[in-house]
Amino acid sequence: MVKVTVCGAAGGIGQPLSLLLKLNPQVSELALFDIVNAKGVAADLSHINTPAIVTGYQPANKEDKTAIVESLKGTDLVIIPAGVPRKPGMTRADLFNINASIIRDLVANIARTAPNAAILIISNPVNSTVPIAAEVLKKLGVFNPKKLFGVTTLDSVRAETFLAGLINVSPTSLQGKISVIGGHSGDTIVPLINATPEIARKVATLSTDQYNKFINRVQYGGDEVVKAKNGVGSATLSMAYAGYRFAENVLNSLAGKETSGSIPDSSYVYLPGLPGGKELSTKYLNGVDFFSVPVVLEGGQIKSFVNPFELLKVTNDETKLVKVALDGLSKSIDQGVAFVTASK
Ligand code: NAD
Ligand code: LMR
């Protein structure tokens, strides 16, 4: 019996993500919250002949808090794709002004109504929205770093797809063989494609130009979609797939299944709250506390992480990418923390 709540369920990501969750037999209740059309999406999905009971919650007006509270009551897992997406010419950081307060307020409601739920944050800029969520949870005295996840799975999905084409293997075969660490925007995204010897041998056949173009494509894959959608939004379908892939990892862990893959999927997490995390941050990350690393899950939370610098092969080129990433990350983290500190 697992209850999942999606906040922002009527959006471009929210709808296909909710569809995928409705298909998962482990989900017994699927609560869809949005400020618009949540009831319509819930009615639609509720006709699908799978066990999950689907309910829709939308506030009657700006002051109405009943809908969000009802959607969160007794939930095990909250997934948040609420907020505005990019348009061409914008960076993810340009979304901060609108999405920061959406995340702050949603997470405050989670803290009060479902303090033990695992929280998956999709809304951008992830590099800042996850620190915002952590600060809100800390302020309200219920922060469990093992249950707060920034969803960076789309970067892995892209890396697997783009690299497969270059080294002539099936894209699905790369899941668990390469890894993406760092953050979720531009040069904070660091693909580790040499992580396993088997793939590193194939990667060695690529020219420097091919390697550089690959890295750039993963780091700026989001821009590719924003440009192609030409003002209508950013990645939604590939994101719904990626968000579901990570949510399924959490659901599987709740069902007692072990995390699969030789390298598990990464998530952007608060390292000092994890066993060995402070050491990783101090020794390899110049004290940066939020970072995406492969996470092993158990019972709906993080059991441990794979230290990329000690357990995977990280080349000199990849180490240089990490250094660049740290600079951008620390600024985005500071911005998120300062936003909550300045909030009442
Ligand atoms: P969208 O505009 O299609 O949908 C967003 C939904 O959020 C809308 O239905 C809207 O009504 C709802 N919403 C707004 N404020 C809300 C609130 N306070 N409470 C509940 N719902 C609220 O946007 P989208 O394409 O689905 O993207 C959503 C977010 O996900 C964006 O910030 C986007 O940048 C981000 N995103 C992240 C990744 C990632 O890899 N982490 C990938 C793609 C998109
Ligand atoms: C992505 O990587 O596709 C998302 O973060 C959306 C975006 O703004 O690029």
Q: CA–CA separation, 210 vs 256, rounded Å?
A: 41
Q: What is the 3-state secondary structure (H, E, C) of 161-226?
A: HHHHHHHCCCHHHHCCCCEEEECCCHHHEEEECCCCHHHHHHHCCCCHHHHHHHHHHHHCHHHHHH
- Please, which pLDDT band fits residue 72 given cuts at 50, 70 and 90? very high
Please report which ligand is nearest the Cα atom of 217.
2
Catalytic residue among 2, 184, 189, 325: 184
**pLDDT of 65 strictly over 80:** yes
CA-nearest residue, atom 4 of ligand 2: 222
Tell how far the Cα of 123 is from the centroid of ligand 1, in angstroms.
6
For residue 181, what are the CA distances in angstroms to 151, 253, 329? 12, 21, 12
Say yes or no: CB of residue 147 within 6 Å of ligand 2: no
Taking CA 134 as the corner, what is the angle to CA 131 and CA 138, rounded to the nearest 5 degrees?
140
**pLDDT of 260 strictly over 90:** no
Q: Which atom belonging to ligand 1 lies closest to the Cα atom of 233? A: 25
Rounded average pLDDT over 208-227: 98
* Active site (annotated) includes residue 184: yes
Q: What is the pLDDT of residue 262?
A: 82
Say yes or no: CB of residue 92 within 6 Å of ligand 2: yes
Structure tokens, 97? 């002004």
Q: CA–CA separation, 105 vs 286, rounded Å?
A: 31
Q: CA–CA separation, 113 vs 119, rounded Å?
A: 13
- Please, which pLDDT band fits residue 145 given cuts at 50, 70 and 90? very high
Contact criterion met (CB below 8 Å) for 195 and 308: yes
**Whose structure tokens read 């990280």?**
314
Q: Is 151 helix (H, G, I), strand (E, B) or coil?
A: coil
Helix (H) / strand (E) element for 180: namely strand 179-182
Rounded average pLDDT over 210-226: 98
Q: What is the pLDDT of residue 344?
A: 81
**pLDDT tens track for 285-328:** 999 999 999 999 999 999 999 999 999 999 999 999 999 999 99
Q: CA–CA separation, 203 vs 226, rounded Å?
A: 28
Rounded average pLDDT over 87-104: 97
Bridge partners, 57 (sequence order) = 33
Q: CA–CA separation, 277 vs 317, rounded Å?
A: 23
From 234, 238, 266, mutation site for ligand 2 pocket: most ligand atoms within 8 A of C-beta: 234
- Please, which pLDDT band fits residue 259 given cuts at 50, 70 and 90? confident
Bridge partners, 126 (sequence order) = none
The interface predicted TM-score of the complex, written ipTM, equals 0.99
CA-nearest residue, atom 29 of ligand 1: 123
Nearest to 155 by CA among 225, 258, 207, 82: 225
Structure tokens, 314? 């990280």
Rounded average pLDDT over 146-169: 98
Rounded average pLDDT over 265-287: 98
Tell how far the Cα of 168 is from the centroid of ligand 2, in angstroms.
26
Rounded average pLDDT over 128-144: 98
- Please, which pLDDT band fits residue 267 given cuts at 50, 70 and 90? very high
Contact criterion met (CB below 8 Å) for 35 and 107: no
**pLDDT tens track for 159-197:** 999 999 999 999 999 999 999 999 999 999 999 999 999
Mean residue pLDDT across the chain: 97
Taking CA 206 as the corner, what is the angle to CA 204 and CA 208, rounded to the nearest 5 degrees?
105
- Please, which pLDDT band fits residue 51 given cuts at 50, 70 and 90? very high
What count of other Cβ atoms lies within 10 Å of the Cβ of residue 114? 22
Tell how far the Cα of 85 is from the centroid of ligand 2, in angstroms.
8
Q: What is the pLDDT of residue 258?
A: 86
Residues with CB under 6 A from ligand 1: 7-8, 10-14, 33-36, 81-86, 95, 99, 102, 106, 122-124, 126, 151, 154, 184, 233-236, 239
Q: What is the pLDDT of residue 84?
A: 98
**pLDDT of 40 strictly over 90:** yes
Q: What is the pLDDT of residue 157?
A: 98
Nearest to 336 by CA among 124, 34, 74: 124
Q: CA–CA separation, 182 vs 324, rounded Å?
A: 10
**pLDDT of 332 strictly over 90:** yes
Rounded average pLDDT over 99-124: 98
Tell how far the Cα of 74 is from the centroid of ligand 2, in angstroms.
31
**pLDDT of 343 strictly over 90:** yes
**What does pTM read for this prediction?**
0.98
Among 211-225, 246-260, 278-292, the least confident range? 246-260
Angle, in degrees to the nearest 10, between helices 316-342 and 126-139 = 50
Q: What is the pLDDT of residue 15?
A: 99
Helix (H) / strand (E) element for 1: namely none
Say yes or no: CB of residue 226 within 6 Å of ligand 2: yes
Tell how far the Cα of 213 is from the centroid of ligand 1, in angstroms.
29
Rounded average pLDDT over 24-31: 98
Please report which ligand is nearest the Cα atom of 5.
1
Contact criterion met (CB below 8 Å) for 258 and 238: no
Contact criterion met (CB below 8 Å) for 239 and 13: yes
Pairing, β 2-7 against β 27-33: parallel
